[in-house]
Structure 1
């Protein structure tokens, strides 16, 4: 990342937890005039020693700059911090974790008070901030002109991916990716549980497991293509009927290894339901439709 080409836009940052502090230090290192506020003053004081301007109140911090970034605990914290703050004429960028509905409501809240609004979902942990090769980024959604205007500043700490004018889309993309991550972790947990009582070093299984997950990952593209086309049999190699026939092997193995199958059975149940509905020649894409209420 080349900071010399980035306009040194002044900005305010509300919230100095681990993520907020990491963001603050990258902006300071890049030469951006930074005003900070935190509920507990110690972290703000530390950053003041590193070149930031620390304000005692959120209202004063917001008043200091047009661009205001929020990195707080939750949506309720945003309500509390901005309750007695004049945001008219401000460009609010909310990196606080929220739901799509909360993000949309916050966008309306900001618009009613004369502010422009951009919502963000951070796809990184604090050690990845300011480290381009780590691959972290932030999903942004909301006012496109606001994103375009401040993109140079927002991409100083970490990359940016704009996902649409709908303010809820950043949060939705964030939760969608994290949900898939937890599903992957659930499968990995089951895999390690199966060998837990055996004379198998988990560190020898780990690279095999990681390589296998990487090899299977491109399957998401087939799922996306099938959802778009509506043809769930397109390109299917191992159909649903064949896969459901193999389910007893997984469940019996788990029983024999003394492992609860509770991480797998919900998915297997959906596979069987789709098969019963006539999806035997499909792949696994039909499960998506069973999840949508």
Structure 2
């Protein structure tokens, strides 16, 4: 059943790397794995994967090499010494890091005759191999398309975002910015509620209602930014800072850190001072862009 399937190597067997390797095995691809701690491969070996004795041996086993480790310092430590083995093969780097690191890695790969695609995994480990998985890619479209059928074993949706190798990482960090900023705000909101004697279970349904406003806000902000016009039809930055001040003062009155809004409030004031207080809050985006060094 595996004779017609492209062999795949997976380097790095943390939770995500393990999930990637398992998906390839389950889809019938001959799968070679390698990890600094070999014991992490035990479950995969029972499913039919093959453990390589070294990273070089792992790379030599397949035309398609997937790497998924902690960051690009970790991937560089593994990949740079085996550039000769990787030559002529395709390397898909699903390690999370910055767009700049992705572009540097792509340039290194090109110098060494390695076909390179950068990628980002936008869903948890348990989605890999299922219809819920979400993966983004950037870099050579030709290289991506040559292996798209094999990568489909990871399940879900696969989107090639363009030839800039850093584009997938750019999407990744911007999207995770939404998630982690929201999660930190949510944690602060639960703290504020508890400080006022509000039980988390009582608070949660109303928090869900507030979160339900976000999808429409995303669409609205995208449209405003596309037009570079920021009319505030309902509430302006100037009116919103009043609420921000109430939240900050209430938190501080309970001896709490002001949380994420403590960082946002001076940004909003900068926009107001620049004469844009009557604008929609999407106007803050241009302030962030204009304050880049």
Q: TM-score, normalised by structure 1?
A: 0.91
Distance 1:185 1:113, change over 3 A: same
Whether 1:14 and 2:11 are equivalent positions in the alignment is yes
Structure 1 position 89, deviation (Å): 0.8
- Unaligned segments of structure 1, at least 5 residues: none
Aligned residues, how many? 285
Q: Of residues 62, 74, 81 in structure 2, which corresponds to 1:77?
A: 74
Deviations 1:59-80 (A, max 9, x none): 1111111111011222122222
2:217: which partner in 1? Answer: 219
Whether the 8 Å contact between 2:66 and 2:94 is mirrored in structure 1 is yes
- Of 194-203 and 62-71, more deviation after overlay is shown by 194-203
1:160: which partner in 2? Answer: 158
Matched residues in 2 for 1:222 and 1:100: separation? 27
Structure 1 position 276, deviation (Å): 1.4
1:130: which partner in 2? Answer: 129
1:47: which partner in 2? Answer: 44
Partner secondary structure for residue 175 of structure 1 = helix
Decide which structure has greater helix share. Answer: 2
Matched residues in 2 for 1:195 and 1:72: separation? 38
Whether 1:147 and 2:144 are equivalent positions in the alignment is yes
Structure 1 position 175, deviation (Å): 0.6
Structure 1 position 181, deviation (Å): 0.9
2:28: which partner in 1? Answer: 31
Q: Of residues 239, 243, 247 in structure 2, which corresponds to 1:242?
A: 239
CA RMSD of aligned residues (A): 1.8
Distance 1:41 1:255, change over 3 A: closer
Distance 1:81 1:261, change over 3 A: same
Matched residues in 1 for 2:71 and 2:223: separation? 35
- Unaligned segments of structure 2, at least 5 residues: none
Structure 1 position 45, deviation (Å): 4.2
